[in-house]
Amino acid sequence: MDVPPPVNRLFANVPGKGRVKTREYREWIKTAGWEVAAQRPGYISGPVKVDIILPLNDRADVDSRIKASLDLAVRLNIIDDDAARVIHGLNLSYDNTPKMRVRIRRVA
């Protein structure tokens, strides 16, 4: 899937509404959500380990890619939460891949 927007472009302050998702973030959620759903990942209960592989040419802060990716996994009901009680390991690496890849596996 395409990499998500950087953290500073995920939310905007809107007078009278507070913090809202930006149009760019909403579009990424929709597009990435369809890509993930097409893979039929299913629900993974309990603790998990997550591998995120980013394209070598990605220039954004690493933490911005992590937040949006884990939030999407929760939104799609792949994992229960992105809190420490669920995420027992996180591995981040770079590759010559044209798109970001995320692998989530249950902790034995």
Tens digits of residue pLDDT in 26-64: 999 999 999 999 999 999 999 999 999 999 887 777 887
Q: Is 97 within 8 Å of 53 (Cβ atoms)?
A: yes
Does residue 20 form part of some domain?
Answer: yes
Does residue 1 form part of some domain?
Answer: no
Does residue 41 form part of some domain?
Answer: yes
Split at pLDDT 50, 70, 90, the class of 11 is very high
Residue position matching structure tokens 């990605």: 58
Instruction: Give the per-residue pLDDT at 36.
Output: 95
Instruction: Give the per-residue pLDDT at 58.
Output: 79
Give me the domain span that covers residue 78: 7-106
Which segment of 6-15, 61-70, 79-88, 92-101 scores lowest on mean pLDDT? 61-70
The count of domains in the chain is: 1
Q: Is the pLDDT of residue 16 over 80?
A: yes
Question: Cα(85)–Cα(13) distance, rounded to whole angstroms?
Answer: 30
Question: Cα(90)–Cα(8) distance, rounded to whole angstroms?
Answer: 22
Does residue 77 form part of some domain?
Answer: yes
Does residue 22 form part of some domain?
Answer: yes
Split at pLDDT 50, 70, 90, the class of 108 is confident
Instruction: Give the per-residue pLDDT at 79.
Output: 97
What is the average pLDDT value for the chain, to the nearest integer? 92
Does residue 2 form part of some domain?
Answer: no
Does residue 58 form part of some domain?
Answer: yes
CATH number of the domain that residue 80 is part of: 3.30.1330.70
